[in-house]
Structure 1
Amino acid sequence: MTVRVLVVDDDDLMRAGLRAVLSSDDTIAVIGEAADGRVAVEEVRRSRPDVVLMDVRMPALDGIAATEQIVASEPDARILILTTFEDDDYVFGALAAGASGFLLKRTPPEQLIAAIHTIAAGESLLSPTITRTVIDRMARVPRPDPAAGRLLRTLTPRERDVFELIAHGRSNAEIAEALIVEESTVKTHVKRVLAKLELRDRIQAVILAYEAGIILPGSHR
């Protein structure tokens, strides 16, 4: 199946470059472009892309606000944030707004294409880099959120184990190895955990874990 992508960036050259890169893959079709978040929101409602490739810093409406508006009206929207990372303080805000992942703008073309397919398949792009970003942000939170802690009590002991491993950025294969179970069993547990906690994806699980205070910066399972 062809993945339909909307490219959102206020830099004309960047949009042209992204279109050229994505056009090299026969399974990806760039169905539209937007130069600011406001236009992006309108385009998503009009064309319903499979994946939105979203810049953060844009005029009129930035990528975080646009992501929040898109997810509010289109809960199943898949948004992949593009960021400069080192100079970007918006990563956590974008993930909290409902983005399914993020990439550096200097990401190699083959990784960008793979990431788009990952997001389109309903997965989140959760790497150690993303996890560290969340850790750094949550380290500034003075105390855990009691509401988040109460929500986690709905999980069974095994689901809690799976949740904590998700929060550490582990893949399904790594979780299966850690718990000595089949990967298919892990996939079932992950779906149940996300459904019980009403989370969009694994990235939201990481955020909840740090809000609940069950995983602290620098901790290891």
Structure 2
Amino acid sequence: LNDAGNDVTLVLISPIEDRDISNIKIKSGVKVHTVSISVGLSKAKMEENQENYVFKEESGAGAGQTMSVKAAKFVQVCEKTLQNKDFLKWLEAEKFDLAFAHMFDVCTVGLVHAARIPSWIWLNSGSIMDWVAYTVGVPIIPSYVPPMMMDVAGEMNFWERTKSLIGHGLMKFFWRRLVADPETELFRRLIRPDFPDLVELSSKCPLVSP
């Protein structure tokens, strides 16, 4: 986009207090707008939690607790972002034509709507995330496509397909309950009471990019 002559701005919403991004190479000509959000996160703490989550076996209850903690942080970051009125004014005043929203939650979708940005792309850093697929209507067949947190590869047997079906149902329920609905309530409390439901806004996404 930048090479084609478009003005490109990278908005970095950073909740990690000791994060060092000096080694990240950003193309010359791309503007960078950094928004520091303090939610008690540190790089060392995140790496410790990631080590426990990735390299150690967790029970079902432990995995559920990990998911709840991560979801709560997303909501907390969203709240702190919405409380930053200077950033919200700047975002609207820039009059962007197009926005790329990350796939972690739906707070960025709400920001796009609040800033009156006419079009946007839901950007996934790998394959399409489960909740993105659910929201925009991409078909997922549980017999062939397991949920993202299920440890399985290749062709599934009957029991694994049953677990996959249940897992997709739980993912839909908990993602909405722990992330999407709380973030909708934040926009209605901090922006305006009649703010649209964020899942409904997300379902109208013009383009999803894997």
Q: Which has the higher contact order (CA 8 A, sep 6+)?
A: 2
Query: TM-score normalized by structure 1?
Result: 0.28
More helix, by proportion: 1
Larger radius of gyration: 2
